[in-house]
Amino acid sequence: MAEVTRTITASAGGSSYDVLIGSSILPAAMARKELAAFERVAVIAGSRVYGLHRDYIDRSLSVFGDRMVLILYEDSEENKSYGRAGEVLEKFITAKMNRKSAVIGIGGGVTGDFSGFCAGVYMRGVPVVHVPTTLLSMVDSSLGGKVAVNLSVGKNIAGLFHQPRMVVSDVRFLETLPDDEFRNGLSEALKHALIGEPTTLGILERNDPASVRNESVTADLVARSALFKTGVVERDEKENDLRAILNFGHTIGHAIESHLGYRGVSHGEAVAAGMRVKAEISRRLGLLTDAEAGLVKGVIARYGLMRERWGLDVDSVIEHMEYDKKNFGGAINFVLLKGLGKPFINQQIPVGLLKKAMTEVVG
């Protein structure tokens, strides 16, 4: 599979861009006319993925010749900082980047966030091209234009909306992706299925942890999520209303991550736990049938998206929800399901019900 298997055109912010999906497509993507006119190109590449795929990446980028500067980036949350962004912006100056330049980010979600932020603030915004190299970044973070860096008080506090010029989801990079990182992406793909992308649920039900890593199956999952998420963003770029459905599972997931100090838990596992809790709450409210809630639980178990036993302090996790930047006026807002694929937003539920559901799932 050495060609673009799917091209999705996304619209947001008054412009449009292509999402290219396939295997071994990076060289052809870098040679497209959209990139040929840039006078300078700064490539911010995650150091780990560059080490694993150096020859392939170098060959793909050779089309830029001496117009390009390569910046290797240690893609950790600690490095996704405002201070580190300042250092990279200074490198842009040294490389003589101007308004006719572009930034290309190659790596996972952290690298994409960081690259997009640097592109968005440099000279009031230069184009960014995302080359996501993890399943999580392919199905979620590379799409939609939300970019940010961390401040000392929390994650993604300094950010903006900066839509990409192009997204290149080359599933070849997933060959070296560890299973636990792959599961992170499956959690987000499942989220899209539960809030309105029905085909993905069928794909996950028909496959298993081994077969889902087949290139054609993975590319289909990426395409389904890309089509769904870009459709949501097109209708609500700045998260005023509809886009809030994309937070399904995240309010609780972020609180679990914060409670654990972002150690010993992956984003995908925390979100999977959040989705299980939301499904259980929806079931207890009579919004989901026992069979529908059981299906959610079964898919999460089939792919090992979350651990069976947690032993968390539920009260402490709930306290951390109060600091979620998506909550307003002291109220905790939830996305619930009134059927599979039928989310509804801004739901405030009794604390007692929340505690019962959380105790069952993560207590």
Is 40 one of the annotated active-site residues of the chain? no
Q: Which helix (H) or strand (E) holds 361?
A: helix 351-362
Is 280 one of the annotated active-site residues of the chain? no
HSE on the CB side for 133, CA within 13 Å? 27
Catalytic residue among 183, 267, 278, 283: 267
Is 247 one of the annotated active-site residues of the chain? yes
Catalytic residue among 234, 239, 326, 356: 239
- How far apart (Å, rounded) are the C-alpha atoms in residues 92 and 44? 11
**Token representation of residue 217:** 């199956």
Catalytic residue among 53, 254, 278, 283: 254
- How far apart (Å, rounded) are the C-alpha atoms in residues 230 and 163? 11
Is 356 one of the annotated active-site residues of the chain? no
Question: Please, are residues 179 and 30 in contact by the beta-carbon 8 Å criterion?
Answer: no
Is 124 one of the annotated active-site residues of the chain? yes
Phi, psi of 342, deg, nearest 5:
-130, 80
- How far apart (Å, rounded) are the C-alpha atoms in residues 87 and 188? 32
Question: Please, are residues 191 and 336 in contact by the beta-carbon 8 Å criterion?
Answer: no
- Residues 6 or more apart in contact with residue 354 via CB below 8 angstroms: 277, 281, 318
In the block, tokens 């309105």 appear at 196
Q: By three-state DSSP, how is residue 82 classified?
A: helix
Is 267 one of the annotated active-site residues of the chain? yes
Q: If 0-12 CB within 10 Å is exposed, 13-18 middle and 19+ buried, where does residue 279 land?
A: buried
Is 284 one of the annotated active-site residues of the chain? no
Catalytic residue among 3, 33, 78, 124: 124
Catalytic residue among 80, 146, 192, 276: 146
Q: Specify the amino acid at residue 200.
A: T
Is 229 one of the annotated active-site residues of the chain? yes
Nearest to 326 by CA among 248, 263, 230: 248
Question: Annotated catalytic sites, by residue?
Answer: 124, 146, 188, 229, 239, 243, 247, 250, 254, 267
